[in-house]
Structure 1
C-alpha cells in the first residue's frame, strides 16, 4: 500500500484486522506535517457537514466516532455548538434549515459554553457529534498497527513500480499523476494557546464571508480553521487568510486577542469534482482517494468498504463502476 496518511492508515487497520499482511510505503518516516492529515481539524461532525455535503457523507460519517474510539483514539463526545453574532442571524436561520439540532436562546447558549456568555451569541447545539486530536489519533494508530505486524517502509512507492501483491494507492493529492480529475482544495489553519478560555466542544461561528471553527485541544490549546480555497498550492498560509481566521476568533471571544500564536499551517486536500470520495480499480492498482474536507470522518467508511470488497467480494458503495472481483 502507498501512503501513510489518514486514508492509508485506516485501510491498513481494516485489512490487518482481517488477517491480511500489509506493507505501507510512504515517502516520509513517521506521521508529521508532510501529511495533509496533520492539519485536519478532527471534527467528527456529520450532521454539520450536511449543510453542504451530499447524503453519503452524513450517513457514513455517523460511524466515524465509534471507529476511532475502537482504534484507541481519545474521542470527545460533547457535540458541536453552532454560533452566530447578532448581525449574522440570517446565517443561523439558513444553517438551521439544513442541519438538525436544538435551537438555543441566549440563556441556553450561555449555559452550554459559559466562556462565551454575555456575548449576545445565538446558536444551535448538535448533540450527536464528536471530535478528536488528529495528530494524536494518527500517531497512535500507526503505533498500534506496527505492534499488530503492519510493516512501514520509507520510499516513493510509485504506482506501477511495485512488484507482487496487491497495490492500494492512498497518496491523496500526489495521485494526480494517475487520477486526472483529482483537484486540490487548500485549507489554512492556526493553533493558539489561550489558557484563560475554556471551551468543551468545537464551536462553528457562522459568517457569510469568513466562517470559523474553533476546536479545543486541551490545556488551553485551540485549532482554528475554515478556509477553503480552490488551489493545489501547499505553500505557507497567506496573510489574508490568517488575518481572517484571527479576526473571526477575536469576534467570537476577545480573549483570543491575547492568545499565543503557536503555529500556522496550510495544505491542499484531494477532491473529485462532486467532493465525494472514490474507490477505483485501474489495472493492478486500487485507488482510494478524494476525501475532500472529510478525512477523519469518511476514511473509516471507505476503508471498511475496501476491505469488504477485497476480502468478501462486496462491491463498495463509493465505487465509480463495477470492476468485478479482485
Structure 2
C-alpha cells in the first residue's frame, strides 16, 4: 500500500529513510529545519568508518550482525565507498592494548611490521605490527550525505529545507505516517534519550598518504585517523557524556593532535582546516532503534550514537518492512 510519508530531519538517518521509502513507492516529503543542507546535522562529525567488527569491542553482540548488513547495503548503493579495510595499531610500549583489543574482537588478521609497511608504506618502521580488518570500509561524511540527498531526490522524494517539524505533520493535510529522525530535537517525545558529545579535527597533509583508517590504541587517548581523500584526514575519538554543544576544548584539541602526531610525525606539518564538536543522541544501551507510536502513524528513528552511518540503512529497511506488512526486527519497538 502506498502511503504519504513525512520524514523529519535530513541527517544520515532521515536521508536513508527518505531514499528507501521513496524507492518502495511511497510519497515521501523530507523536512529539514536548517536552510543549508547538513548545517545542523550531527552526522557531519562522523569519521565515517563502517566498522562492525571493531565496534563489537564495546557494542552489544547483535550490533555486529546488523552492522555487517549495513556494510552490505552501503556497498550496494554507494560507488565511492572505500573498501580497503582498516588497521588497529599501538605503540611498542602499549602492545598489551593491542592484544586485549584482538581478544575482544573478531574478523581481523595479525600483520607483521613488514606486512603493515606493504599496505601502508608511510607507516613503515612506525609500529611492530597491526590488526587488519579486511572487510571494513570508510567514506567522507560530506560526500556520502550529499550522495544520499541526491539519490533521495532521484527516487522521487521531495526535500524541503528551512521548514520546521510542524509543517504538513498536523491538521487536515497531515501525512499518513511521520518518521521523526531529528536526533536530540525529539527528546520531548523520547525522555530516555541522552546526548553524547563527540569532537573531531579536520586536517590536510601532503606529507603522508594513508589509504585506510588507522585506529591508534592508547590507555588514555585512543583515536582514529580517517583518510577522506585529496590529503584530507579526519582525526577523532572523544566520547564525552555531555550535552554541551559548545566549541572543542583545548584539552581535546591537544589530545587529538598529539595522537595524530604519535601515528606519524608528518602530521605536525599538516594544515588545520576545522575543529568541530557535536552532540549525538543515544539511548541508555547505546543501540539505535525505530519506535512506533500512535498505532503506526508516527515512528521515531533515533539514538544513532556512533552507529548512524553503519545502521542507517538497516533502520530504513526495518521501517520499510514494518510499513509493508507489519514485520518487526531487532531494532524496532512497537
Q: TM-score w.r.t. structure 2 length? A: 0.92
Task: Figure out how many residues of one structure are paired with residues of the other and give that number.
Answer: 321
- Cα deviation, residue 160, structure 1: 10
RMSD between superposed Cα atoms in Å: 1.5
- Cα deviation, residue 161, structure 1: 5.3
Q: Quick one: distance in 2 between partners of 1:70 and 1:27?
A: 30
**Stretch moving more, 81-90 or 68-77:** 68-77
Q: Does 1:272 align with 2:283?
A: yes
CA contact (8 A) 2:203 2:274 kept: yes
Show the counterpart of 1:142: 149
Show the counterpart of 2:329: 316
SS in 1 for 2:301: strand
Show the counterpart of 2:56: 50
- Tell me which of 228, 234, 238 is aligned to 2:245: 234
- Cα deviation, residue 33, structure 1: 3.5
Q: Does 1:95 align with 2:95?
A: no
SS in 1 for 2:27: coil
Show the counterpart of 2:304: 291
Show the counterpart of 2:182: 171
- Cα deviation, residue 137, structure 1: 0.8
Q: Deviations over 1:267-295 (max 9, x none)?
A: 01110000011211222421011111011
Q: Does 1:155 align with 2:163?
A: yes
- Cα deviation, residue 243, structure 1: 0.5
CA contact (8 A) 1:192 1:261 kept: yes
CA contact (8 A) 2:9 2:32 kept: yes
Q: Deviations over 1:194-228 (max 9, x none)?
A: 11101010000001110110000111110000100
Show the counterpart of 1:112: 119
- The answer for unaligned runs of 5 or more in structure 2 is 1-6
Q: Quick one: distance in 2 between partners of 1:121 and 1:19?
A: 53
Show the counterpart of 2:3: none
Q: Quick one: distance in 2 between partners of 1:203 and 1:68?
A: 21
- Cα deviation, residue 148, structure 1: 2.3
Change (3 A) 1:159 1:241: farther
- Tell me which of 255, 258, 262 is aligned to 2:269: 258
Show the counterpart of 1:200: 211
- Cα deviation, residue 159, structure 1: 9.4
Q: Deviations over 1:122-154 (max 9, x none)?
A: 321010110111111111111121122211123
- The answer for unaligned runs of 5 or more in structure 1 is none
Q: Quick one: distance in 2 between partners of 1:25 and 1:130?
A: 30
**Stretch moving more, 136-145 or 104-113:** 104-113
SS in 2 for 1:297: helix
- Tell me which of 132, 137, 140 is aligned to 1:125: 132
Q: Quick one: distance in 2 between partners of 1:29 and 1:287?
A: 23
Q: Quick one: distance in 1 between partners of 2:187 and 2:98?
A: 37
Q: TM-score w.r.t. structure 1 length? A: 0.95
Q: Quick one: distance in 1 between partners of 2:128 and 2:263?
A: 9
CA contact (8 A) 2:85 2:137 kept: yes
CA contact (8 A) 1:5 1:35 kept: yes
CA contact (8 A) 2:201 2:235 kept: yes
- Cα deviation, residue 71, structure 1: 3.0
